[in-house]
Structure 1
């Protein structure tokens, strides 16, 4: 068997935002928490809900629906926070991502993943790694490191440090 015949398989945590199904690499998801109250931090973007205390560490929480341009939704029993590692400029930041629900851990072979669609210039596909069709439903695979700009992540880090200092 040659190297080109090897079909790599990766694991992804799949989660729902509205009717859409998204996924991030399981290696980037540290843990999944039930929804808990978030302490709002003034003068932050609308997608930044605030911070939570996670075993003595301040973790900023981002509403993924708002960040991806989707409408906000009411919290349900399934609403959860996915604690993720985001890498930018060689630094790892821990961020909580609010999701409507977590589905499961799925394995996708590399040949199952299609490149992001090119649908004109209005759709920002820079934060997509690809899409996968699973049981007649598309799963949108996110490049979690590209969803936030360096400025946004700097703000998230600053807010977390300020909350920790107070």
Structure 2
């Protein structure tokens, strides 16, 4: 057969943030945690102003609401921390992301996605 190759569905973890649903490639996600005690980091950017202990490692905790210029939200019973592994400067780095609610791992077609909002994150 000839023609354009079929695009393959991506496995993603879906989560809510300020009434919107976002998705992360499932391969980036290491774990979904209940809220954990946070330690403030003086002088850090507001959207990464805290760290948490993840299995004995101190990792930054990003508040995507602030990164996307949304209002800071209060934690609820559904709030979670999504721990991802992201390559920063050639080194795999663990990062915690606050989420209002985590849904499930699901498949989506690449044509059904939008680029992530441009934010001041590397």
**Is 1:73 equivalent to 2:73 in the alignment?**
yes
Post-superposition Cα deviations, 1:11-46, rounded to whole Å, max 9, x if no partner, equal 111111111111110000111000112011111111
Match of 1:148 in 2: 121
Q: For the residues of structure 2 that align with 1:36 and 1:22, how far apart are their CA atoms?
A: 22
Gaps of 5+ in 1: 117-123, 128-146, 150-166
Match of 2:91 in 1: 91
Larger radius of gyration between Structure 1 and Structure 2? 1
Match of 1:82 in 2: 82
The alpha carbon displacement at 1:51 in A equals 1.1
Give TM-score scaled by structure 1 length. 0.66
Q: For the residues of structure 2 that align with 1:16 and 1:90, how far apart are their CA atoms?
A: 29
Gaps of 5+ in 2: none
Report if aligned partners of 2:68, 2:117 keep a CA contact under 8 Å in 1.
Answer: no
Change in 2 beyond 3 A, CA 1:73/1:41: same
RMSD of aligned C-alpha atoms?
Answer: 2.0
Name the SS for the 2:111 alignment partner: helix
What is the aligned residue count? 122
Select the structure that is richer in helix: 1
